[in-house]
Amino acid sequence: MQIFEPLSLPNGTTVPNRIAKAAMEENMADAEMGPSQPLMQLYQAWADGGAGLLISGNVMIDPRAMTGPGGVVLEDERQLDKFKRWAEIGRSKGAQFWMQINHPGRQMQNNLGQETWAPSAVPIDLGNLSKRFDAPKAMSEEKIQDVIQRFIRTAQLAEKSGFTGVQIHAAHGYLLSQFLSPLTNRREDQWGGSLENRARLLLEVVKGVRAVVSAEFSVSVKINSADFQRGGFSPDEARQVVQLLNALSVDMVEISGGSYEAPAMHGRTRDDSTIAREAYFLEFAKEIQATANMPIMVTGGIRRAPIAEQAIESGIDMVGIATALAINPRLPNDWRKGEDSAPMIEVADWKNKTLASLAYMATVKYQLTKLSKNNQPNPSVSPLWALLSGQVKIALQSRRYRRLMAG
């Protein structure tokens, strides 16, 4: 099977096979915002499972800017020993291990008690749930430069820890994605307006990271194929951004899509008309690949070996798998042995797509918690139960986070 063939990256390194454990938000930091022992246990399961590439969940570049209260933060060397252990575990069976680095921008809930920053003062529209998010403040030039330096510093520390690469998160409606989208970036300076200006922050981050890490350290980018919102970041603009990245020694681009407002990454859009049931973004990725000099990875809904193989046969370089690996971390090894494994979770078929998306994420995190305790996942858990129990956990983590930040 082609999915088990190695992939050579532009920097000269090799990924052992074409299956990647795509990023999932684990929210398993310890009390000091470092990688916890349960998180280590979780990544040992994935390292043992046979994927050629592991990509961590969000590692935040700033403790004041969090996608969730249990997030891991890497901004200095104080906890470097923990990150070295995490990297050692992820690489223990020969996989490459990349750290996904991120800033949430306006996608940070107000119960964390922090100021929210974004390219422009455009609030999130989630209906009744919008009140969970403060209207963001437009970033000053000083704030933008600070974010660039933080991305660079975290990448440096990732390499020093023993990770083999970083993935710069510019998708799913987080800060770099907000700069790319005309819906959320209404600036009239060098950081807004034309696509070249809207892409400037991403390009400056990539150039800055590439300049300070070694040649064999992989630098990758995750972008949306589209926002799946009228007037938002479009597939044509995604192709143009990849063309801009072609000149910057990027080792891989992962194609995904959506945001909190239109969670296409969970197979849902506002009109339900643009997403297939499996391999959501494959067609977008194939179109983008036509202009890409670097390998292209596609993530979204893949859970069966024939679909993964079809993606590689179509010319895509790598397939990213998330939810299926939360249920069965041994999936690549099972496929290698010829087993017909296609893990699924119970999905909430609710009219409120925002709540359904939250339930989906909670159900996935429920499986991750099971794995982190060396227990068997429970893919049939009730989405409502997973959501409610997850909200209790988030409330406790938020209280701990606020105490830590106050101290």
Considering the domain boundaries, does residue 44 fall inside one?
yes
E-strand spans in 228-279? 252-256
Task: Provide the total of helices (H) and of strands (E) in the chain, helices listed first.
Answer: 13, 14
Q: How, if at all, do strands 7-8 and 14-15 pair?
A: antiparallel
Bridge partner list, 297: 254, 318
399 falls within a domain = no
Strand locations in 70-202 (E): 72-73, 96-102, 117-118, 137-138, 165-170
Q: Which pLDDT score, from 0 to 100, does residue 267 have?
A: 46
Looking at the domain assignment, is residue 13 inside a domain? yes
Flag whether pLDDT at 123 surpasses 80.
Answer: yes
Average pLDDT on 251-266 reads: 72
pLDDT reading at 276 higher than 50 = no
pLDDT(273) > 60: no
Q: Give residue for tokens 């390009």.
A: 203
Dihedral of the CA atoms 250, 256, 257, 260 (nearest 10)? -100
Q: In the beta sheet, which residues pair with residue 303?
A: none
User: Which of 111-115, 276-280, 323-327, 349-353 bottoms out in mean pLDDT, i.e. has the lowest?
Assistant: 276-280
Indicate the SS3 state at residue 15: strand
What are the distances in angstroms from CA 65 to CA 27, 34, 361?
Answer: 14, 15, 20
**Beta bridge mates, 168:** 101, 221
Give me the pLDDT at residue 351, please.
81
Q: Which amino acid is at 135?
A: A
What percent of the chain has a predicted confidence (pLDDT) above 70?
Answer: 93
What confidence score (pLDDT) does residue 356 get?
A: 85
| Single-letter amino acid, residue 378 | N
**Position 270 pLDDT exceeds 70:** no
CATH code of residue 217 = 3.20.20.70
Which residues lie below 8 Å from residue 292, measured CB to CB, with a gap of 6+? Answer: 242, 246, 253
CB atoms within 10 A of CB 14: 11
Give the global pTM: 0.94
| Residue 26 near residue 57, CB atoms below 8 Å | yes
* Alpha-carbon dihedral sign for residues 196, 253, 366, 58: negative
pLDDT given at position 272: 42
What's residue 266's pLDDT? Answer: 43
pLDDT in tens, 57-87: 999 999 999 999 999 999 999 999 999 999 9
Tell me the average pLDDT of the chain: 91
pLDDT in tens, 148-197: 999 999 999 999 999 999 999 999 999 999 999 999 999 999 999 999 99
Res 280: pLDDT: 58
End-to-end CA distance of the chain: 54
Residue 356 lies in a domain: no
Residue 382 lies in a domain: no
Residue 365 counted as domain residue: no
In a domain, 195, yes or no: yes
Establish how many alpha carbons lie within 13 A of residue 112's alpha carbon, considering only the half-sphere containing its beta carbon.
23
- Of 199, 261, 204, 255, which is closest to residue 231 (Cα–Cα)? 261
Q: Where are the alpha helices (DSSP H) in 199-340?
A: 200-212, 235-245, 282-289, 305-313, 323-327, 331-336
Q: How much is the pLDDT for 352?
A: 83
375 in a domain, yes or no? no
Residues 196-248 have pLDDT tens digits of: 999 999 999 999 999 999 999 999 999 988 666 677 788 889 999 999 999 99
Q: How many domains does the chain have?
A: 1
Amino acid identity, position 374: N
pLDDT at position 226: 66
Contacts with 43 (C-beta within 8 Å, 6 or more apart), sequence order: 54, 56, 86, 89, 90
SS3 state of residue 8: strand
Which residue range(s) make up the domain with 306? 2-341
